[in-house]
Amino acid sequence: MDFKLLMVFVDQDKTEIVLDAARDAGATGATIIPNAQGKGLKPHLTFFGLEFMAARSVILVLVEARRSSQVLEAVTEAGGLDESLNTGIALELEVSRALGLSEHIKALSKEHPVK
What was the pLDDT predicted at 57?
Answer: 94
pLDDT tens for 38-97 read 766 676 667 777 766 678 899 999 998 999 999 999 999 999 998 777 788 999 999 998
What was the pLDDT predicted at 52?
Answer: 65
When divided into structural domains, the chain yields a total of 1
Q: Residue 81: inside a domain, yes or no? A: no
Contact 10, 87 (CB under 8 A): yes
Please check the confidence at residue 99 and state whether its pLDDT lies above 70: yes
Q: Residue 3: inside a domain, yes or no? A: yes
Q: Residue 70: inside a domain, yes or no? A: no
Q: Residue 75: inside a domain, yes or no? A: no
Domain residues for the domain of 10 are 1-35
Q: Residue 94: inside a domain, yes or no? A: no
What was the pLDDT predicted at 40?
Answer: 66
67-82 as b/e, with b when 16 or more CB fall inside 10 Å? bbebbbebbbebbebe
Q: Residue 6: inside a domain, yes or no? A: yes
Q: Residue 11: inside a domain, yes or no? A: yes
The helix-helix angle for 65-79 and 15-24 (nearest 10°) equals: 140
Q: Residue 63: inside a domain, yes or no? A: no
pTM (2 d.p.): 0.80
Contact 79, 88 (CB under 8 A): yes
